[in-house]
Structure 1
């Protein structure tokens, strides 16, 4: 790879000192003059009609400034398609919003909630995805018979991917040497659990301008998505530093609209921040995913067909579930070079807290259910899973339908080397003993290994725009709506601009995240920060540099392309002895503004493979994750510590540990989440971290001038299925019920009998 001044080198993050010294202001640190605090009364029932609601006593409490019920809240809508009111006369899960309060303090708001009297008419509830589709099942929405939501997503275009139907499945059956079928699921609906809970401040200027301060991964998209839903208002979105998101805190109408409603009613700014228990019980969890499927395979590992029904449990409403289905259907094709498909998804509502977008975005949910089915066929064929993935993962020249419904041809790299080097680092050939065979047995301790794979073409999703302004004093300012959500991406785009302009890093800065200042930005989702956002920033910097050289070329009596710049000085290439500072070219009264724009490109899918080794205590059923090796190829590494930390993040927050202990537990007798706290919601501590190692190749990609793509978002996705495989191999029995808690392991070993859990 090319040697750079900044790219590929460890450099301090721009925000590092502020974060570690406590100067960074997260949303809950902000106070706006005259600000009120918003609180939500939440339903104790999973499904009910509100017969009556009395707020008089709450309104009389000193310090209470507004109380909203379904009778007086603005008629704004959320969901996909729009189907969820801010407040409704029907509640659909325990934790659904019943009333809103704005008060002078949080304590007054909490006291006021207890004064609201509500009479409910309980309705039958349904939690299982298949039961919800049965005739006579409780209906959550009259407009969605059978609780089945319409497919498609307008934002992805008129032909957005709704299923994978390719070739001739019957022909594939005839060509198969082995056919397996079964039902597999990934339904423990874990919480992404970012350290910072969701929060927002809303304030109106007059009747048609709303300013929103948010802890959002996509602050510009709050403006784009919500201002049309609110009657074509002008929404001014200000993004704060985000205490992690993991995909979950994006457009987030669930808390922006209630805050805006209270601010409108009171004429004062309103802050609304979830508490931790509220976050765990009433905000985004992963989709529930269940597959009834069949797979045909030849003896050499070629897959001849895949067919099945993919049942997606979205909970009480869809935030972006259809979009996740579209991406998941695309990602399945990246993993599997199969000529004959019939994969039919259904998105179904049930009476639990709603699922929403989380890193892995549909593909993790699909593959965690689909891969166990595929491994059954691999076992019949006697094929090593590493060899299978090496044979079947998408290669340059292969085609696939992506989320927009269009056929794309891969022009990326062949990931075979990454797979081979990852397997070598892990010691796969020595550890792999065959299907359902442990790597080692020492008394009651048995070890096993597994592997999973994932990829995503959304590294080039959607549009990004950026400006780069050059000032006479030799500084550059990037205008970008890129949110800082913990990954260091804002620092990384500074590195890109510094490299192009050859400026010291301390002379490059990024504007505050403000929709009145910055151009359009989709946000750092789907690992698009490096390619999509980076491409827009690079183009803007190159445009600014070109304009600068055109200004100064006459002074040197050369063409613009003959010039170079370093540390705010311009010189003729090969003649660095004579330099002119930028100010000589620009004067004091001029700035140079470069512009860049990225258009969607789904032809460069990324890749992640995870190898896992587990140890199972066959006496207690406890599973320990011993070792993890991640393998990928990202092109040029932009920031070495950054990518290492991204890959280290594969464990928790709805990642690998969803195979071991992370789950949202619902009591289906009451509809209540039983573990909405950090004691009962099982979570890995630092003392329990496994040995981790990463193999990161740097094969140049045809992306932008630095030949890189992003990979952080998919770091979690291959892990759960890899652990499932490893545990099955360790104990010699197939087990496919996430998470692999001790009772399930002992039950699989025939040592105890457990009641079957109802799907969540």
Structure 2
């Protein structure tokens, strides 16, 4: 589909590739500020406790220690949505919660100082199960949240935030159903995406009222507009280094920012907080836990007549953005399940495990991994092929839905059924599907099963973006857009859009560093919005700059702007390319041209992905092996082919498909400690374990912007978990309704593990 395009759809070198491989790219550890101190955090060994005494005298007098802070030394700063998580408090709410902060000349001195702090705790009962936490007898984590349930009211800046999906008349819908299913399913393992580089922050106060932070962030501007309570938002500057991987978790976690900022304020020096891998496992934000109790009504022809129930979301000890994740999940489920009657309530609940925050999949993966297995039971009762069901019930042009901000939108994109058909053909679905609960093949003790999952997301048009393009006399273009590099190659893709609009070499397009003081407003790279939302602003800025350039040239050349074209940093009259005038002849040495572009939120488009999976289950050992995966999508014009394929290949790890098989955080509820918080016991897929993998990518023009594209990268992980659960059921004929499907669950489902007390 890239016919006639110079850069878009073509393989081009990433703008930062040479810097990365030669070591020139600046990562977090490369930032060294004069006089910089090192911060460390004393963390709680208890899941729930009051701090009855903290003695820091020995730590404060240790040579090389510059500050020791407890909750009594700093103003109370609460953050999260709603604001409730303090930087330091007189109470701890999970194993790994902060008790005190130390700043010292070296990391080793700071670590040694932690050992000199004496703390006495009054331990309190802890609660970990989401339903138990909601009972009247459960110990409260926050006094303002009865039954550990967050309030339903929306933030003032998004007053109609979708928290309860109500549509039509569910009682009428159930009366119309041929089959009704009620069930509970949970996706509650809160896996850790674990980007290679742990989170870190350097904070420095340029003046008493102006804070600058350096951090490896996926969405650096997010830090600025979510606000720091003790300073004015306009007085915070955020600068991103190379992100070192994110998978959503480095969007904006303010907890380490708070630690570094308070220590920097106390010492008058820059302070660096850099998590160890152990802290990354135990104390950084993770994925939400999800449990759905639902009732589903369906007709014999696959029409979903009604869905009702409650979606219980376990956010752990704090909610970084839980209400928004619920809102997005409730929006996304409508794109995958066309239904006229809904009554699905989201409940955000806190428990005594590590806090939850932004993770790739952002609400939708959690909800769909929980509700689609319940839908599968209804499909089995109606004897409906899941492919036929999703073709009937995925969003179609003209369909309406509520999105996260509570408004009703009408879908104006493409029909994804062609992508489903192409994916099914590549996978061989028609030959492999043998009906619900039936294996595709039986080879001795090994049984083969197949399954599918889907995901769609209208956050491709999420929130606002702004961009500027500066054209310089020497024939270069500089893009000013506050986009970090999180490993996705998005900065290069945006430069390709600029080069395409201006018809100039890609190497002559540069991009400003991700610094909030240098760039216009940008929401950040999340929700696959980089291609449509950010891209629209960048394209508009490039088109505006081009038009201004041609209008300026038209005056000098005594023609109209419509008679001119620009290519390779030169302007010529259309039809007379031999008469080229360099930009410096037009602009002179003392002028630049600046184009402006802005994108406003648009939730009338969405992306789509269906994952087809094949598993082999050994009924003797319980081992489940993933043998084949096909991803099918339609993204419009591909901007960068290798980048897109790489994103879709990310379906496995980083809290993706493999959360259905082995990727999980194991919590000991007796102590509140995570048992596998290290790189040995936290199970990952290695290169030798990769299955056959195929991407089927269609390029139907999507009515987004000049290049007719939307992003699909974020959703690559989302369809996999429910697809694996379906495939395992079809292999063994017995349902498992929790993740991951480990060997003991398989053997127990097959009746091969004896109950306790039997011989």
Q: Which ranges of structure 1 fall in alignment gaps of 5 or more residues?
A: 756-760
Residue 417 of structure 2 aligns with which residue? 416
Residue 169 of structure 1 aligns with which residue? 170
Q: Deviations over 1:518-573 (max 9, x none)?
A: 00111110000000000000000000000000000123322112211111111111
Distance of 1:753 and 1:356 partners within structure 2: 39
Contact kept in structure 1, 2:77 and 2:229, CA below 8 Å: no
Contact kept in structure 2, 1:76 and 1:230, CA below 8 Å: no
Does residue 262 (structure 1) correspond to residue 258 (structure 2)? The answer is: no
Equivalence map 1:327-726=2 (5 Å): 327-726=328-727
Distance of 1:46 and 1:543 partners within structure 2: 56
- State the aligned residue count: 755
Contact kept in structure 2, 1:743 and 1:754, CA below 8 Å: no
Distance of 2:81 and 2:716 partners within structure 1: 27
Residue 249 of structure 1 aligns with which residue? 250
Q: What displacement does 1:164 show?
A: 0.7
Q: What displacement does 1:406 show?
A: 0.3
Q: Deviations over 1:295-349 (max 9, x none)?
A: 0000000000000011110000111011000000000100111011100111001
Q: What displacement does 1:206 show?
A: 2.1
Distance of 1:143 and 1:739 partners within structure 2: 34
* Larger displacement relative to structure 2 (357-366 or 73-82): 73-82
Equivalence map 1:76-155=2 (5 Å): 76-154=77-155
Distance of 2:473 and 2:273 partners within structure 1: 43
Q: What displacement does 1:155 show?
A: 6.9
Distance of 2:168 and 2:52 partners within structure 1: 53
Distance of 1:709 and 1:270 partners within structure 2: 40
Distance of 2:81 and 2:538 partners within structure 1: 31
Q: Deviations over 1:343-399 (max 9, x none)?
A: 011100100001111111000000101001000000011100011000000010000
Contact kept in structure 2, 1:331 and 1:456, CA below 8 Å: yes
Distance of 1:216 and 1:457 partners within structure 2: 23
Q: Deviations over 1:118-160 (max 9, x none)?
A: 0000000000001111111100011000100013543762211
Distance of 1:731 and 1:386 partners within structure 2: 20
Contact kept in structure 2, 1:472 and 1:591, CA below 8 Å: yes
Residue 158 of structure 2 aligns with which residue? 157
3-state secondary structure, aligned to 2:683: coil
Q: What displacement does 1:75 show?
A: 2.0
Root mean square deviation of aligned Cα: 1.1
* Larger displacement relative to structure 2 (317-326 or 222-231): 222-231
Distance of 1:230 and 1:440 partners within structure 2: 63
Cα 1:153/1:274, change in 2 over 3 Å: farther
Contact kept in structure 2, 1:463 and 1:599, CA below 8 Å: yes
Distance of 1:722 and 1:462 partners within structure 2: 31
Q: What displacement does 1:186 show?
A: 0.4
Contact kept in structure 1, 2:224 and 2:233, CA below 8 Å: no
3-state secondary structure, aligned to 1:389: helix
Cα 1:317/1:65, change in 2 over 3 Å: same
Contact kept in structure 2, 1:208 and 1:233, CA below 8 Å: no
* Larger displacement relative to structure 2 (568-577 or 287-296): 568-577
- TM-score scaled by structure 1? 0.98
Contact kept in structure 1, 2:253 and 2:357, CA below 8 Å: no
3-state secondary structure, aligned to 1:154: coil
Distance of 2:277 and 2:23 partners within structure 1: 21
Cα 1:664/1:156, change in 2 over 3 Å: farther
3-state secondary structure, aligned to 1:455: strand
Q: Deviations over 1:390-448 (max 9, x none)?
A: 00000100000000100000001000100000000000000100001111111111110
Contact kept in structure 1, 2:456 and 2:607, CA below 8 Å: yes
Residue 758 of structure 1 aligns with which residue? none
- TM-score scaled by structure 2? 0.98
Equivalence map 1:215-234=2 (5 Å): 215-228=216-229, 230-231=231-232, 234=235
Contact kept in structure 1, 2:125 and 2:139, CA below 8 Å: yes
Q: Deviations over 1:668-700 (max 9, x none)?
A: 000001111011111111111111100000011
Contact kept in structure 2, 1:156 and 1:404, CA below 8 Å: no
Distance of 1:647 and 1:465 partners within structure 2: 27
Equivalence map 1:158-237=2 (5 Å): 158-228=159-229, 230-231=231-232, 234-237=235-238
Residue 318 of structure 1 aligns with which residue? 319
3-state secondary structure, aligned to 2:265: helix
Q: What displacement does 1:232 show?
A: 5.0
Residue 240 of structure 1 aligns with which residue? 241
Residue 39 of structure 1 aligns with which residue? 40
3-state secondary structure, aligned to 2:312: strand
Residue 272 of structure 1 aligns with which residue? 273
3-state secondary structure, aligned to 1:478: strand
Q: Deviations over 1:196-246 (max 9, x none)?
A: 110110001221011100111111121122245535561111111101111
Q: Deviations over 1:246-300 (max 9, x none)?
A: 1111121111011000000000000101111110111111111111111000000
Contact kept in structure 2, 1:152 and 1:322, CA below 8 Å: no
Q: What displacement does 1:29 show?
A: 2.6
3-state secondary structure, aligned to 2:578: strand
Distance of 1:147 and 1:385 partners within structure 2: 38
Contact kept in structure 1, 2:477 and 2:510, CA below 8 Å: yes
Distance of 1:232 and 1:404 partners within structure 2: 23
